[in-house]
Structure 1
Amino acid sequence: MNATGTVIKFGDNVDTDMIIPARHLSTADPKVLRHHFMEDVDPTLAGRIQPGDILVAGRNYGCGSSREHAPIAIKGTGAACVIAESFARIFYRNAFNIGLPIIECPEAARAIADGDRVEIDFEAGTIYDHTTGETFPTPPFPEFIQGIIKFGGLVQYVSAGGSYHDV
């Protein structure tokens, strides 16, 4: 399982209200939420993000409220993955629950720049920056996490025969 895309870079402490403003929480439809991704920070971003793009951020990405709408909005944009120095723990769990791959890799998050072309090999545990030629090791996703991502979320994974006990 691989992902290759162009990086959109953010700083530290990107909270869930920045990711998806509270006024849009009346729906959990990713097709609707995608249009409001980060709109209070950059109103043009939702229109510029392309399927497969990779989000890279600093420390404490997804802090704030525990709403699942934030990772749903990100997944709705078609972003392939979020790489950050660190994630708020509830965001971390919510992201995997809906099948959004996220990677905690401080070295990569600090070194990769906005606009870089990055390739991620989730099984091997590598992040390769095609722009700079740097490679960053990261723990590979366990098989059950790969299953959750492949099936689009925990509910779909269990419905397809994956074991909840693996999680």
Structure 2
Amino acid sequence: MDSMKGKVWTFRDCIDTDVIIAGRYLRTFNPEDLAAHVMEAEDPEFSSKVGKGDIIVGGWNFGCGSSREQAPVAIKTAGVSAVIAKSFARIFYRNAINIGLPVITADIEVDEGDILEVNIEDGIIINETTKKTFKIKPFDAEMLDILENGGLVNQYLKNKKEV
């Protein structure tokens, strides 16, 4: 998997799925509609400011709350290439991997606006703004395969075709 590189958007501890995408927007299954309202409760302008490839860095317990799958879908569809946090709610972590959104557990030093380069295969995060390097546990081959295929369902369909 190629490195991801993007601008950092920082968020506090305990960002729950209602903050990521409010319940009032769950009447649609259109990912673009969800992305238009992503992180609105924390930053009403976030969806218009975030760029393709940008990276969210959160604190402890990112994605807590309900098990809504729309939360990682909204983040990914908004263009975010990865979410890094000190810890994740288990169901959010699994939902993110299932749709092909890399989620990385790490405690790194960043400021909003910094530029990060993330290589989950080699286990390295480089803050290009401060020139600091952080080691993370590299993702294993199976996890990389799921992410490279765009999620668990896509990986299954690919493997089914190969049989």
Band of TM-score, shorter chain: over 0.9
Residue ranges of structure 2 left out of the alignment (5+ in a row)? none
**TM-score where L is the length of structure 2:** 0.95
- 1:7-22 alignment, distance < 5 Å: 7-22=8-23
**3-state SS in 2 of match to 1:161:** helix
- Structure 1 partner of 2:139: 141
Alpha-carbon distance in structure 2 between the residues aligned to 1:37 and 1:126: 27
- Structure 2 partner of 1:29: 30
Deviation at 1:92, TM superposition (A): 0.5
- Structure 2 partner of 1:105: 106
- Structure 2 partner of 1:64: 65
- Structure 2 partner of 1:115: 113
- 1:37-52 alignment, distance < 5 Å: 37-52=38-53
Q: What's the CA shift string for 1:6-43, capped at 9, x where partnerless?
A: 00000100000000000011223221110010112211
> What is the aligned length?
159
- Structure 2 partner of 1:153: 151
2:76 equivalent to 1:75: yes
Would you identify which runs of 4 or more consecutive aligned residues in structure 1 move more than 2 Å? none
Alpha-carbon distance in structure 1 between the residues aligned to 2:29 and 2:148: 20
**3-state SS in 2 of match to 1:155:** helix
Letter in 2 for 1:88: A
Alpha-carbon distance in structure 2 between the residues aligned to 1:136 and 1:156: 31
**TM-score where L is the length of structure 1:** 0.93
Give the superposed CA RMSD. Answer: 1.0
Q: What percentage of residue pairs aligned between the two structures are identical? A: 47
Which among 124, 127, 137 is matched to residue 125 of structure 2?
127
Letter in 2 for 1:10: F
- Structure 1 partner of 2:86: 85
Q: What's the CA shift string for 1:52-89, capped at 9, x where partnerless?
A: 00000100000000110100000111101000000001
Deviation at 1:141, TM superposition (A): 1.1
Alpha-carbon distance in structure 2 between the residues aligned to 1:156 and 1:28: 18
- Structure 2 partner of 1:165: none
Q: What's the CA shift string for 1:86-117, capped at 9, x where partnerless?
A: 000110101001100010002x1xx1111000
Alpha-carbon distance in structure 2 between the residues aligned to 1:24 and 1:16: 12
Letter in 2 for 1:24: Y
Is contact 1:28-1:72 (8 Å) kept? no
